[in-house]
Amino acid sequence: MMEVCGSTNVSLREFGCEQTLLSRPDGSASFVQGDTSVIAAVYGPAEVKVSKEIYDRATLEVLIQPKVGLPSVRERSQEQCVRETCEASLLLTLHPRSSLTLVLQLIHDDGSRLACFLNAACMALMDAGLPMSCLFCGVTCAINADSEIITDPTAAQEKESRALMTFAIDSKEQRVMMSYTKGSFSVHELQQCIAVSQKASENIFQFYRDSVRRRYSKNL
Protein backbone atom coordinates (compact mmCIF):
# COMPACT_ATOMS: atom_id res chain seq x y z
CA MET A 1 0.00 0.00 0.00
CA MET A 2 2.91 2.33 0.62
CA GLU A 3 4.53 3.30 -2.63
CA VAL A 4 8.18 3.95 -2.02
CA CYS A 5 8.85 6.55 -4.67
CA GLY A 6 9.59 4.35 -7.65
CA SER A 7 12.15 2.09 -6.12
CA THR A 8 11.13 -0.63 -3.71
CA ASN A 9 14.63 -1.62 -2.74
CA VAL A 10 16.28 0.69 -0.27
CA SER A 11 19.79 1.61 -1.20
CA LEU A 12 22.27 1.98 1.60
CA ARG A 13 25.94 2.66 1.20
CA GLU A 14 28.59 0.09 1.99
CA PHE A 15 28.58 -0.67 5.72
CA GLY A 16 31.53 -1.66 7.82
CA CYS A 17 31.92 -2.38 11.50
CA GLU A 18 34.65 -3.53 13.84
CA GLN A 19 34.11 -4.26 17.53
CA THR A 20 36.62 -4.29 20.40
CA LEU A 21 39.17 -2.32 18.48
CA LEU A 22 40.23 -0.27 21.51
CA SER A 23 41.75 -1.94 24.55
CA ARG A 24 41.08 0.61 27.31
CA PRO A 25 37.29 1.05 27.17
CA ASP A 26 34.87 -1.63 28.32
CA GLY A 27 33.31 -1.74 24.90
CA SER A 28 34.18 -0.13 21.59
CA ALA A 29 33.16 -0.19 17.98
CA SER A 30 33.87 1.64 14.78
CA PHE A 31 31.11 2.08 12.26
CA VAL A 32 31.56 3.07 8.63
CA GLN A 33 28.75 4.10 6.28
CA GLY A 34 30.26 4.90 2.92
CA ASP A 35 32.79 7.61 3.74
CA THR A 36 31.21 8.56 7.08
CA SER A 37 33.11 6.97 9.91
CA VAL A 38 32.66 7.03 13.69
CA ILE A 39 34.44 5.37 16.61
CA ALA A 40 32.46 4.72 19.78
CA ALA A 41 33.76 3.75 23.22
CA VAL A 42 31.78 2.78 26.31
CA TYR A 43 33.06 3.03 29.86
CA GLY A 44 31.14 1.58 32.76
CA PRO A 45 29.30 0.71 34.86
CA ALA A 46 31.65 2.73 37.06
CA GLU A 47 31.53 5.01 40.05
CA VAL A 48 29.41 8.12 39.60
CA LYS A 49 29.90 11.69 40.77
CA VAL A 50 27.67 12.48 43.73
CA SER A 51 26.06 15.40 41.92
CA LYS A 52 25.05 13.18 38.99
CA GLU A 53 23.96 10.15 40.97
CA ILE A 54 20.47 8.79 40.34
CA TYR A 55 19.30 6.52 43.12
CA ASP A 56 17.38 3.97 41.09
CA ARG A 57 19.29 3.75 37.80
CA ALA A 58 22.59 4.36 36.09
CA THR A 59 23.54 7.80 34.80
CA LEU A 60 24.35 7.76 31.10
CA GLU A 61 26.60 10.41 29.66
CA VAL A 62 27.15 10.81 25.94
CA LEU A 63 30.03 12.86 24.56
CA ILE A 64 30.32 13.63 20.89
CA GLN A 65 33.69 14.80 19.62
CA PRO A 66 33.79 16.52 16.23
CA LYS A 67 36.63 15.91 13.79
CA VAL A 68 38.24 19.27 14.49
CA GLY A 69 37.65 21.88 17.18
CA LEU A 70 35.57 21.79 20.31
CA PRO A 71 32.06 20.38 20.54
CA SER A 72 29.48 23.12 20.00
CA VAL A 73 25.73 23.50 20.44
CA ARG A 74 25.02 21.22 17.46
CA GLU A 75 26.96 18.37 19.07
CA ARG A 76 25.13 18.99 22.34
CA SER A 77 21.75 18.56 20.70
CA GLN A 78 22.89 15.37 18.95
CA GLU A 79 24.25 14.11 22.25
CA GLN A 80 20.79 14.57 23.72
CA CYS A 81 19.22 12.56 20.90
CA VAL A 82 21.71 9.70 21.21
CA ARG A 83 21.52 9.69 24.99
CA GLU A 84 17.76 9.51 25.22
CA THR A 85 17.64 6.77 22.60
CA CYS A 86 20.22 4.72 24.50
CA GLU A 87 18.42 5.36 27.78
CA ALA A 88 15.24 3.92 26.35
CA SER A 89 16.87 0.72 25.13
CA LEU A 90 19.35 0.12 27.96
CA LEU A 91 18.10 -1.50 31.16
CA LEU A 92 19.61 1.17 33.36
CA THR A 93 17.72 0.10 36.47
CA LEU A 94 20.00 -2.93 36.72
CA HIS A 95 22.92 -0.66 37.62
CA PRO A 96 21.63 1.89 40.12
CA ARG A 97 24.00 4.60 41.34
CA SER A 98 26.63 4.02 38.69
CA SER A 99 27.79 5.82 35.61
CA LEU A 100 27.97 4.85 31.95
CA THR A 101 29.95 6.98 29.55
CA LEU A 102 29.64 6.77 25.80
CA VAL A 103 32.21 8.66 23.74
CA LEU A 104 31.59 9.10 20.04
CA GLN A 105 34.46 10.36 17.93
CA LEU A 106 33.69 11.49 14.41
CA ILE A 107 36.47 10.37 12.08
CA HIS A 108 35.03 11.59 8.81
CA ASP A 109 31.72 13.20 7.93
CA ASP A 110 30.12 12.46 4.59
CA GLY A 111 26.45 12.76 5.42
CA SER A 112 24.09 10.78 7.69
CA ARG A 113 26.30 11.41 10.70
CA LEU A 114 23.59 11.22 13.34
CA ALA A 115 22.54 7.82 11.96
CA CYS A 116 26.14 6.69 12.03
CA PHE A 117 26.51 7.89 15.63
CA LEU A 118 23.48 5.82 16.60
CA ASN A 119 24.71 2.70 14.86
CA ALA A 120 28.19 2.99 16.35
CA ALA A 121 26.67 3.60 19.79
CA CYS A 122 24.51 0.48 19.55
CA MET A 123 27.43 -1.70 18.45
CA ALA A 124 29.64 -0.36 21.25
CA LEU A 125 26.94 -0.94 23.88
CA MET A 126 26.54 -4.47 22.58
CA ASP A 127 30.31 -4.95 22.76
CA ALA A 128 30.38 -3.72 26.35
CA GLY A 129 27.85 -6.42 27.18
CA LEU A 130 25.34 -4.06 28.74
CA PRO A 131 21.82 -5.43 29.17
CA MET A 132 19.43 -3.89 26.68
CA SER A 133 15.73 -4.37 26.06
CA CYS A 134 16.16 -4.01 22.30
CA LEU A 135 18.68 -2.90 19.71
CA PHE A 136 18.30 0.28 17.73
CA CYS A 137 19.65 1.66 14.50
CA GLY A 138 19.76 5.04 12.85
CA VAL A 139 18.53 5.82 9.32
CA THR A 140 18.75 9.13 7.55
CA CYS A 141 16.40 10.01 4.70
CA ALA A 142 16.69 13.03 2.46
CA ILE A 143 13.93 14.37 0.25
CA ASN A 144 15.42 16.08 -2.79
CA ALA A 145 13.95 18.79 -4.98
CA ASP A 146 12.13 16.21 -7.14
CA SER A 147 10.43 14.77 -4.01
CA GLU A 148 12.42 11.57 -4.22
CA ILE A 149 13.42 9.92 -0.99
CA ILE A 150 17.10 9.08 -0.70
CA THR A 151 18.19 6.85 2.15
CA ASP A 152 21.61 7.20 3.70
CA PRO A 153 22.53 10.36 1.74
CA THR A 154 26.07 11.65 1.25
CA ALA A 155 27.04 15.16 2.32
CA ALA A 156 26.49 16.46 -1.20
CA GLN A 157 23.02 14.91 -1.36
CA GLU A 158 22.20 16.33 2.06
CA LYS A 159 23.11 19.80 0.89
CA GLU A 160 20.85 19.60 -2.15
CA SER A 161 17.94 18.13 -0.24
CA ARG A 162 14.77 19.97 0.68
CA ALA A 163 14.22 18.05 3.89
CA LEU A 164 16.36 15.79 5.99
CA MET A 165 15.11 13.31 8.56
CA THR A 166 16.92 10.95 10.88
CA PHE A 167 15.08 8.21 12.72
CA ALA A 168 16.11 5.68 15.30
CA ILE A 169 14.21 2.42 14.84
CA ASP A 170 13.97 -0.29 17.49
CA SER A 171 14.56 -3.94 16.63
CA LYS A 172 11.53 -5.36 18.40
CA GLU A 173 8.57 -3.77 16.68
CA GLN A 174 10.41 -1.42 14.34
CA ARG A 175 8.87 1.64 15.83
CA VAL A 176 10.32 5.14 15.81
CA MET A 177 12.37 5.83 18.93
CA MET A 178 13.86 9.12 17.89
CA SER A 179 13.21 11.57 15.12
CA TYR A 180 15.22 14.58 14.13
CA THR A 181 14.13 16.58 11.13
CA LYS A 182 15.19 19.60 9.17
CA GLY A 183 13.41 21.42 6.37
CA SER A 184 9.68 21.35 5.71
CA PHE A 185 7.65 18.44 4.43
CA SER A 186 4.11 17.12 4.39
CA VAL A 187 2.58 14.52 6.68
CA HIS A 188 2.42 12.07 3.80
CA GLU A 189 6.12 12.48 3.10
CA LEU A 190 6.87 11.88 6.76
CA GLN A 191 4.91 8.64 6.73
CA GLN A 192 6.69 7.55 3.57
CA CYS A 193 10.09 8.27 5.05
CA ILE A 194 9.24 6.31 8.18
CA ALA A 195 8.16 3.35 6.05
CA VAL A 196 11.38 3.54 4.04
CA SER A 197 13.45 3.76 7.20
CA GLN A 198 11.71 0.76 8.69
CA LYS A 199 12.55 -1.19 5.58
CA ALA A 200 16.16 -0.01 5.72
CA SER A 201 16.39 -0.90 9.39
CA GLU A 202 15.84 -4.57 8.51
CA ASN A 203 18.99 -4.49 6.40
CA ILE A 204 20.93 -2.77 9.16
CA PHE A 205 19.82 -5.23 11.84
CA GLN A 206 20.80 -8.06 9.49
CA PHE A 207 24.19 -6.40 9.13
CA TYR A 208 24.49 -6.17 12.94
CA ARG A 209 23.75 -9.88 13.19
CA ASP A 210 26.23 -10.80 10.47
CA SER A 211 29.07 -8.75 11.88
CA VAL A 212 28.58 -10.06 15.41
CA ARG A 213 28.36 -13.63 14.11
CA ARG A 214 31.52 -13.13 12.08
CA ARG A 215 33.32 -11.82 15.10
CA TYR A 216 32.37 -14.64 17.44
CA SER A 217 33.03 -17.31 14.82
CA LYS A 218 36.62 -16.06 14.84
CA ASN A 219 36.95 -15.95 18.62
CA LEU A 220 35.38 -19.25 19.52
Beta-carbon contacts of 92 under 8 Å, excluding residues fewer than 6 positions away, are 57, 58, 60, 100
Q: What are phi and psi of 123, to 5 degrees?
A: -65, -40
Residues β-bridged to residue 214:
none
Residue 53 lies near other proteins (rule: CB under 8 A):
no
Nearer to other proteins among residue 100 and residue 165 (C-beta)? 165
Q: Does 104 bind other proteins (CB under 8 A)?
A: no
- Least spacing, CB of residue 72 vs other proteins, in Å: 5
C-alpha span between 140 and 180 (Å, rounded) = 9
Question: What is the total count of residues that contact other proteins (CB under 8 A)?
Answer: 39
Asked if 166 is part of the footprint of other proteins (rule: CB under 8 A), the reply reads: no
Q: Is the peptide bond before 45 cis (omega within 30 degrees of 0)?
A: yes
Rounded to whole angstroms, how far apart are CA atoms 208 and 27? 16
Judged by CB, which is closer to other proteins: 111, or 138? 138
By CB under 8 A, name the one of 7, 11, 93, 186 that touches other proteins: 186
Residue 68 is a binding residue for other proteins (CB under 8 A) = no
Name the residues that contact other proteins, by CB under 8 A: 70-74, 76-77, 79-88, 163, 165, 168, 170, 172-173, 175-187, 190-191, 194
